[in-house]
């Protein structure tokens, strides 16, 4: 992220925009009105995610008229997560607030998010308590998904999918987003020691344009959740997962083999009368392959950390007596 300019910027609001032409003028006006009421130095970073409906030109007009607005045009449509990442990379504020560009989030909530940060939190997540989307297709599936994410991550939020959140800048250092992962940033922050909370925020129905997503997003979110959990728990020790599973297979293989021999010698059951020998061989093969994959993952891990000088820890702060 670039360093701040002459006057330090307190707050960056960043919005990914993909084909939101009719939403842009009211969006800008409402954000401007909400932020001017806050008496903080602010900037607005609008990311055009390869729009082809004229949004790009409209964004440029907004930036030309207001020096506090930066527009970042991506070369094509990369998706909401990548667009958000671009917004974060260009944000200079001490506090960063992402939100959607379709007027479903309400900029007047930003002040309340900031007030919550001031209470000593590092991340405040919006919760669309009264969500204005399709009851089954969106609201129900998102309830299930949020429950699942809370269980797996151990971070309990009602609404991971809500784009409107507020972060202290430090919490985003080193964050790289892939797939649908923008919703997991609070989890990442929590696991790195951040104080995370949530507050209810307003939510409006979409008036212009259409949602870019359907039900398939739920599957992507679940897969991403597995990746996040795996990377956090085992990224620095993949052999524990692969090797653990491998050893389990080898034990089971041994057990199945013994059982088959027992049946043969003491119960008069021939080896081809039960699936046990086959099972034993299959489990042995799986176990050995899994352990070998674990070793491979350990080599990859070393390549990752050592070739890029990436430490295996993150520092909160270092305290040393002056002059020592």
Q: Contact region for ligand UDP (CB under 6 A) — 11-19, 251-259, 264-272, 291-299?
A: 11-19
83 vs 187, beta carbon nearer ligand UDP: 83
138 vs 256, beta carbon nearer ligand UDP: 138
Mask: binding to ligand UDP, 131-170, rule CB under 6 A, as x and -? ----------------------------------------
First to last CA, the chain: 32
Report the run of H or E that residue 62 belongs to, with start and end. Answer: helix 55-65
Among 83, 171, 194, 221, binds ligand UDP (CB under 6 A): 83
CB of residue 167 to Mg ion, shortest distance in Å? 20
Find which of Mg ion, ligand UDP, none residue 79 binds, CB within 5 to 8 Å per kind.
ligand UDP
- Judged on CB neighbours under 10 Å (0-12, 13-18, 19+), 299 is exposed
Q: Which of 315, 95, 93 is nearest to 193 (CA)?
A: 315
Among 40, 60, 68, 79, binds ligand UDP (CB under 6 A): 79
Report the run of H or E that residue 96 belongs to, with start and end. Answer: strand 95-98
Give me 2's structure tokens: 């670039």
3-state DSSP assignment of residue 55: helix
Among 38, 63, 158, 213, binds ligand UDP (CB under 6 A): 213
- Please tell me the distance from the alpha carbon of residue 291 to that of residue 135, in angstroms, as a whole number: 45
Interface with Mg ion in residues 83-142 (CB under 5 A)? 102, 104
Report the run of H or E that residue 207 belongs to, with start and end. Answer: none
Interface with ligand UDP in residues 15-74 (CB under 6 A)? 16-18, 20, 49
Among 4, 21, 73, 77, binds ligand UDP (CB under 6 A): 77
Taking each helix axis from N to C end, the angle separating 110-118 and 24-36, rounded to the nearest 10 degrees, works out to 40
């Amino acid at each position: 992220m670039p360093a701040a300019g002459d006057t330090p910027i307190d707050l960056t609001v960043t919005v990914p925009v993909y084909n939101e032409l009719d939403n842009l003028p009211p969006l800008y006006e409402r954000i401007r009105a909400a932020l001017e009421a806050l008496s903080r130095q602010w900037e607005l970073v609008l990311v055009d995610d390869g729009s082809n409906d004229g949004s790009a030109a409209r964004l440029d007009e907004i930036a030309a008229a207001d020096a506090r607005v930066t527009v970042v045009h991506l070369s094509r449509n990369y998706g909401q997560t990548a667009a958000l990442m671009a917004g974060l990379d260009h944000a200079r504020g001490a506090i960063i607030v992402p939100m959607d560009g379709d007027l479903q989030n309400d900029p007047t909530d930003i002040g309340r998010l900031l007030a919550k940060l001031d209470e000593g939190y590092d991340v405040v997540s919006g919760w669309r308590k009264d969500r204005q989307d399709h009851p089954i297709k969106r609201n129900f599936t998102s309830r299930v998904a949020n429950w699942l994410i809370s269980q797996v991550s151990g971070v309990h939020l009602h609404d991971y999918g809500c784009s409107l959140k507020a972060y202290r800048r430090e919490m985003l250092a080193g964050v790289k987003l892939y797939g649908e992962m923008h919703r997991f940033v609070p989890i990442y922050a929590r696991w790195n020691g951040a104080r995370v909370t949530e507050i209810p925020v307003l939510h409006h129905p979409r008036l212009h344009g259409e949602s870019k997503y359907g039900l398939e997003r739920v599957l992507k979110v679940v897969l991403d959740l597995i990746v996040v959990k795996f990377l956090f728990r085992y990224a620095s020790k993949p052999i524990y997962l692969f090797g653990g599973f491998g050893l389990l297979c080898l034990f089971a293989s041994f057990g199945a083999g013994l059982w088959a021999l027992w049946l043969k010698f003491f119960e008069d059951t021939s080896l081809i009368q039960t699936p046990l020998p086959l099972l034993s061989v299959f489990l042995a093969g799986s176990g050995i392959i899994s352990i070998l994959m674990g070793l491979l993952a350990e080599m990859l891990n070393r390549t990752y950390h050592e070739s890029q000088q990436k430490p295996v820890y993150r520092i909160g702060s270092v305290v040393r007596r002056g002059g020592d």
